[in-house]
A and B are shown apart, each in its own frame.
Chain A
Amino acid sequence: MVWTRHDYDEIPGTYVFDGKRANSGYALNKMAFSFNSEENRKAFAADMDGYCRRYGLSDEQREAVLAGDFLKLLHLGGNVYYLAKIAVFHGLNVQDAGAAFQGITTAEFKQKLLDQSAGFETQLKREGGYWHG
């Protein structure tokens, strides 16, 4: 029994959320889904370890949740939209998490986004027809 390989597996630094990851991350993502409810968020905040155990996370997943190790959680089947619901408890948003995935600061991560977008207004003028207000 093997998981089918895909061309997208070759994209570096990328964990496409497919069946393989959905399967291994199911309990983890299910727990994260429960955080849509404030009551559940309170219960988790009061006893994170116990809450993870109730949802049947693996030891590795539970430890990574408690440590706020989001790259590890991606490796262990976490879906990024669901990890965002866990990141809140570590005081992180998606930009902080993006930085953490790469081991850089959030300021460096934001600068990277600015660098890639630099000069976009010149490109819009070249393309033509864009609203420039």
Chain B
Amino acid sequence: MAKIIGGLTTSHIPAVGNAMAEGLEQDPYWKRFFEGYEPVKQWLDEVKPDLAIVVYNDHGLNFFLNQVPTFALGCADNYQNDDEGWGIPASADVPGDAQFSWHLAESLIRQEFDMTTCQEMKVDHGFMVPMNLFWRHHESWPLKAIPLAVNTVQHPLTSAARCFKLGKALRKAVDSYPDDLKVVVIGTGGLSHQLQGERAGIIDVEFDLQCIDKIINEPEWMTGLSNDYIMEKAGTEGIEVIMWMIMRGALSDKVDVLHKHYHAPISNTGAGVLLLTDAQ
């Protein structure tokens, strides 16, 4: 049986991709941020998951604004990174698992989450930065991955409440797969940041830490937040935190916190890392 062995979260800031490409991990600006990933990398190398479901938003690589699915699931055996227009070197292709993807799609759609299924899907920094943060020290990707793209770019967007429910449905979908697979779910994006307008440059440490605490201990609190409220507190791009709720929904009601890290600012953003498991 497939099993979710843990939930991770991370920001997916493009500047982090540049910093990794340029080997700036020991640079004073970056050091504390990157060190916050080391315990998670160690845990991953110990438990050796077979597959990661990476929840992220596409920022204009695979999906243009002509067609914007609210939830899209990669259903391919291979995913390519590509040029996003600003010169981050493309990462190696990431292997997928089409059979597992189609099982997830069937189960999720039966559970009334009408996923868009994608047999070709380019994955942008939203997906690649987390993959690199957790696994770039391996010569080749040590696991497969499935991209789950959530529209957080072109409103109307889905909600924290809906993402939490999708996570619960995703848990059922994984649990009902007959193959023995160890799966991690990664919620990416956030935390507070606003890139646009005269209000660009918002970081709200207090709100970020409140979100981290509530996501761990009282995710129902997050489901009561409107997108308007989140954008007012955390900025228009801070809305990405709703994707962490898919990870949280996929875990049990009570969780153990194996790692919790926060750093700000990284580029324009408050950056959080979590490693959670079902409570033992």
Contact = CB atoms under 8 A, between A and B. Distances in A.
A124 interface: yes
Given A29-B65, A36-B61, A102-B200, A120 B262 contact: yes
Interface in A71-124: 71, 74, 79-85, 88, 93-95, 97-98, 101-102, 109, 112-114, 116-117, 120, 123-124
A32 B64 CA distance: 10
Interface in B183-239: 194-206, 209, 213, 227-228, 231-232, 236-237
Interface string A1-34: 0000011100111111111001000100110110
B60 A81 contact: yes
B68 to A, nearest CB: 9
B224 to A, nearest CB: 16
B196 A74 contact: yes
B231 A8 contact: yes
A52 B82 CA distance: 24
B39 interface: yes
A34 to B, nearest CB: 9
25 contacts: A12-B199, A13-B199, A14-B199, A15-B196, A17-B155, A18-B155, A18-B156, A19-B155, A29-B60, A30-B65, A30-B66, A36-B82, A79-B153, A85-B85, A88-B87, A94-B15, A97-B195, A98-B195, A101-B197, A113-B201, A116-B202, A117-B205, A117-B264, A120-B262, A120-B263
Contacts of B232: 8, 11
Contact of B262 (A7, A94, A124): A124
Contacts of A38: 83
B85 A35 contact: yes
A81 B196 CA distance: 9
A101 B201 CA distance: 10
Given A80-B195, A117-B265, A131-B260, A33 B202 contact: no
Interface of A: 6-8, 11-19, 22, 26, 29-30, 32-33, 35-38, 41, 71, 74, 79-85, 88, 93-95, 97-98, 101-102, 109, 112-114, 116-117, 120, 123-124, 127, 129-131, 133
A22 B209 contact: no
Contacts of B196: 14-15, 74, 80, 83, 101
B270 interface: yes
A30 B198 contact: no
B101 to A, nearest CB: 25
A108 B194 CA distance: 16
Nearest to A29: B65
B132 interface: no
B236 A14 contact: yes
A85 B84 contact: yes
Contacts of A84: 85-86, 195
A12 B198 CA distance: 8
A127 B36 contact: no
Contacts of B35: 133
A130 B261 contact: yes
A53 B161 CA distance: 43
B155 to A, nearest CB: 4
Given A36-B84, A114-B265, A133-B32, A16 B198 contact: no
Contact of A131 (B39, B155, B195): B39
A13 B195 contact: no
A26 to B, nearest CB: 7
Contacts of B228: 6-8, 11
Contacts of A129: 257, 260
A19 B35 CA distance: 41
Given A7-B228, A98-B268, A33 B209 contact: no
